[in-house]
Structure 1
């Protein structure tokens, strides 16, 4: 004999069947079976990417699957240590629309050429179903060309030494008397340089005259050369100054006793300017 009972309660419904056997025992059977829900599809999250514009040819990516519930705070990592990757998920990555390849975080690319790039990563759930990929686009610029080394500093020009030449008197002026006309001093100019020079000035002066017959007793005039009318002396040569252009000396007639100058030797000093 079989007896069927229906039991109902608020908010709950189930059907229980009882069967009486000949031995008087009851067998219970669950009429409805529960189907476990399928695991949701997952989508990874990028937690490290290169800059949107970069010159790096080896960018690195880090990614994970965000937890549904907050996880306990992990121990503080040592300073300078990279974050520890603990995900056991199965990821696949691809670059610029290429084929999918297994990968794990962190994932570093290498040898990229300048231009636009697209990185994608996807993850499988525990049932082996793959979710939507997460994409990232960036542009790799060509590195700036190396600048040319700065030229060495230019040393300032070394000032050239003035042209060297010598001036000598061909004879000593004699018979100088107070009040007489100036006496020319014949000169020879010698150029020891390997280029010609132009003498633009020649002057004469009293050297270390005796105290009894000082320079105040004499008047000297320069040679008749100038920048407008120079004296040209060829290389390794000498030129005599014509008398009309030679410097002169005259003894002044002073209202003082000048007998001390009689027979005195008064040294003369010559100087000049020239350019080559």
Structure 2
């Protein structure tokens, strides 16, 4: 337990995304009432020690405490009480949306300074190694500035997107180990997400708060992707499990073709709207039969 907790903290320092996945997969057996306090106690002590040793800054400290520790703790508590992977995931989603916005308000200037220092150092290294290729250096400089603009302005959305994606992947991995497996084929996200999408589009089109609108759209994107994957699993999941080569090719295609991810997200959005699998109707029938 001590080793897993410390490794979770160290991995989270380099990447909260992989830290979340690791703490889910490796730390799931320590989520029992008798062990959970000790596990997170060791984890917190390790993180605080890294902060006191100036290995991580204040931004990384809160990223790990809220984005990894609180998110994983909340997820497993809800899962143990309600046995609902979807409710646990949505709870983590709400926490990270709130934290992503607060993080941007409190630490945006410091985050910009950190990014500026990194990009300047990287540009100096490029300038030293590309003295004979000024055109290529100019192109890379413009590319770095574009990436800097995207990261500093859209980090709230990027943070939520990566956090939800990590929890989603981890949920699929641990589902087989848990007492209650995730009925992934029947994932049905709330219709209210459509209203949030319309609001985000309205903010984006207003022009004045376009950046906020884009962040809102990026925050909603992983939920629509999850719904889209659920549709694929419902209709073709059994076949893809039998023909694993096609499953591997599909994963590779999604990695190298982001437009395919957008198509899956649109599929998820339309399913939330039209309910292709008629899950809501079946739930109403089941409830009426119980009555």
Shorter chain as normaliser: what TM range? under 0.3
Compute the TM-score of the two structures, normalised by the length of structure 2: 0.17
- Bigger Rg, which one: 1
TM-score, normalization by structure 1: 0.18
- More helix, by proportion: 2
